[in-house]
Structure 1
Amino acid sequence: MKMIKGLILALMIALLVEPLAVASAAKERSTSSTMKVNFYSNSLQKNMHLNVYLPPNYEAHSKYPVLYVLHSYKLNEDHWWNSLKITEKADELIASGKIEPLIIVAPMIDNSFGVNSAEQTGTVPESGKPEDEGVLYKGKYEDYVTKDVVHYIDTHFKTNKSRSSRYLGGTSMGGFAALHIGFSHPELYGKVGGHSPALFVGPMWDVLEKVIYPTEAARKLNDPILLAGTQKLNKQRIYLDMGDKDDFLGALKTLDQVLAKRQTKSYELHVNPGGKHDDAYWSSQMENYLLFYAGIDQD
């Protein structure tokens, strides 16, 4: 009798626990997830970090488009996550059916402006001490973004590897890097966004100029404004935006004059009233950014 009672009790517990376990598993599958990845960059010959966002129900599909977002000067791969809240906005827009589920990747790019500036990776002594948050970095950062980061993501996650499903954007320094890299590699990125990009016309910080534009030949390879006039961009969608209180607005208008004359798949410029060069402005535009990159019913 005791044995029968024990079996009945065990059965009742199993019946109660199993639905809870299934419900818990379903909840886990229905929510997004984020992770920090440490990996070795062959281009930079050092370990680097990147953040990855996987959309809700990640296992439900075989492949996803990927948005790569680059951070501002003096910041790191956490900028888009912690300050700009891109993952929270992505959750909201996916749930409401406004954007398609996508993978979002925020790689660390140091204070490099995303250019190939030296064979060996290191800091630029004239810009400060190695421990200073504003010290500039030199190295093969363009190769790191286009080769190492893309390869790692494509080989470790369920990505759609086509150019039309790979997007690149950034804020400030990251905006410069996104435009420079995106325009230089139209075969890799179907959509490119410059969000308050730190563009330069005329005099600039001497040390920075020696890193990104040390020669006229290097300027032709690195300057987004020059690249916009020379690269084949007919298969790219391009999005530029900036607040009207931003000191970089004059340079952005110069870029606009170039792109307005070029053949692109689409091109849009947004100058928003009251916007400054800061997190408050970029956060206020996050829905617009995600709608550009992953909005449903764009085509």
Structure 2
Amino acid sequence: MTCKSSILRIESFYSTYLDNKRDIYVYLPPGYSYEKSKRYPVLYMHDGQNIFHPAFNGYSWHVDQTVDRLIHEHKIEEIIVVGIPNMGMERSNEYTHDLEGVLYPLDKVTIQPKGQLYEKFIIEEVMIYVDSVFRTKTGPEHTALLGSSRGGQVTYHIGLRRPDIFGMLAIVSPYFYCVDPMSSEEIRLYHSFTTKQPLSRIWIDLGSAEGTLVLEKHTRAVTEELVALGYEADTQLIYFNDPGAAHAEKDWAARLSSPLIYFFGSKGEASSISLIGCEEVGIMGPTSRLNPILEFGDDFKMTLLRAAYHVEDQEIMDVLENGTLVPKKEGVTSVTVKYEDLEAMIEIRVISQQKEYVTLDMVVHVPPDSPADMKLYAWFPLLHDSSSGTYYNRLQVPLHAEFIYQISRQDGIVEADSAGESVQHKYVALEDATVEIYVEHWMRNEASKN
């Protein structure tokens, strides 16, 4: 007999704390229907409307498919997954805590923080219901919380506030800062905790191509704060900087297996290591950090927060154990990272000075039938030049920042090619440059969120 997993929908689940209703989705593993006495650990996920099903933007995490596969391959134990959908326009409010350090009045949207109420909704309403209806293993050692973007921010706050409930946290592409793309002003949106909480596992990640929406320096800074509190790097707290990954469901789905295995399985033995970083750094200029990626088979990747580095010429440069480059004089040298019997090498050139920011000039040509008064955006607003019919703007971009973006209109229409497929562009801030884009066609938007 072949048993399959199932996804149940709990319709119109009412919250007295938030005074609203939403459907709740519950994934039950293959063995749930026939192992009548067995209980299961639980993973709670925010933005639950698109973790199993495509959401308004057409994207899904396909959590059920990944969990099914990992269970079938005996990489994780069977688990229950509870998806808690957001409430659309209320999402930013529900995912924001009113805590010291959270400068929500300066966020890019108007916030009425309901994070504490949303926290009560999950713990005192959703969890009580789930534990009463389904065969769950209770206690923080069996309970995990996962969210991305603003959902990563609220996971961080709920998890660090309630370690008696959640023992495992997956903080994915967290929206810890609001960064204005035009002015580069950075607005802090997280609270710093001052004592170590009894959490057994913390996973924090981001993609290298999230632009200024989620910057590595911010995510790593919060990670280092947690390490300073006493969470053991690379065991109790695991970090991953995913090369080339954007702020999108498909990229979150692609690396979902890693936190699942971390929480509910065993990663096994390391199989390979790679070393990623800037090939050129300045004695004067922005701080650069290496990204040593350790792989365990096909389904688990992590960045080593602490590693053993060897610099061929230490007169040119040093490398701290956290991967920070310390350039000393101009020249070229190699850096090798080692983990057990694995090693990887990168060659780095040290120059006298690098700029903190580069200048980007973007010019966008649009089809003749485009509305003349329509606002256009890349990841920043574009200005209309009525004399030429083009759109343009100049931006100061942090050096090495990577962006995957679309040209979009205010009415939700985005750039498409001649085949009717949406077009994405990639930009890496390496030097002053002009980017010229010719939009062939427009199509209905497949929007993203934060």
* TM-score (norm. length: structure 1): 0.71
Aligned residues: 237
Aligned to 2:164: 187
Q: Is 2:199 aligned against 1:235?
A: yes
Aligned to 1:13: none
How far apart, in 1, do the equivalents of 2:264 and 2:135 lie?
17
Kindly provide the CA deviation profile for residues 230-251 of structure 1, in whole angstroms up to 9, marking residues without a partner as x: 2432433101011112231222
Q: 1:268 to 1:297 in 2, by over 3 A?
A: closer
Query: Equivalent of 2:7, from 9, 34, 37?
Result: 34
Q: Is 2:149 aligned against 1:172?
A: yes
Compute the displacement of 1:67 (Å). 0.3
More contact order relative to length (CA 8 Å, sep ≥ 6): 1
How high is the sequence identity, in percent, across the aligned residues? 25
How far apart, in 1, do the equivalents of 2:67 and 2:220 lie?
29
The 10-residue stretch of structure 1 (175-184 or 57-66) with the greater mean CA deviation from structure 2: 57-66
Runs of 4+ displaced beyond 4 Å: 134-138, 201-204
Aligned to 1:105: 82
Aligned to 1:255: 222
Q: 1:244 to 1:109 in 2, by over 3 A?
A: same
Structure 2, unmatched stretches of 5+, are 54-59, 99-106, 269-450
How far apart, in 2, do the equivalents of 1:235 and 1:135 lie?
32
How far apart, in 2, do the equivalents of 1:292 and 1:167 lie?
11
What does 1:141-290 align with in structure 2 at a 5 Å threshold? Answer: 141-200=118-177, 223-224=190-191, 226-227=192-193, 230-246=194-210, 247=212, 248=214, 249-264=216-231, 266-290=236-260
Kindly provide the CA deviation profile for residues 4-33 of structure 1, in whole angstroms up to 9, marking residues without a partner as x: xxxxxxxxxxxxxxxxxxxxxx44xx1100
Compute the displacement of 1:185 (Å). 0.4
Confirm or deny: 8 A CA contact 2:44 2:145 kept in the other structure: yes
How far apart, in 1, do the equivalents of 2:205 and 2:97 lie?
25
Query: Equivalent of 2:70, from 74, 89, 93?
Result: 93
Cα RMSD for the two superposed structures: 3.0
How far apart, in 1, do the equivalents of 2:149 and 2:73 lie?
29
Kindly provide the CA deviation profile for residues 140-166 of structure 1, in whole angstroms up to 9, marking residues without a partner as x: 212112221111111111111111000
* TM-score (norm. length: structure 2): 0.48
Q: 1:43 to 1:116 in 2, by over 3 A?
A: farther
Q: Is 2:95 aligned against 1:114?
A: yes
Confirm or deny: 8 A CA contact 1:116 1:142 kept in the other structure: no
Compute the displacement of 1:135 (Å). 8.2
Compute the displacement of 1:48 (Å). 2.3
Confirm or deny: 8 A CA contact 1:192 1:238 kept in the other structure: yes
More helix by share: 1
How far apart, in 1, do the equivalents of 2:110 and 2:65 lie?
31
Structure 1, unmatched stretches of 5+, are 1-25, 72-76, 118-126, 129-133, 214-218
Kindly provide the CA deviation profile for residues 209-254 of structure 1, in whole angstroms up to 9, marking residues without a partner as x: 99xx9xxxxx7xxx24x13xx2432433101011112231222021
Query: Equivalent of 2:32, from 30, 33, 58?
Result: 58
Aligned to 1:69: 45
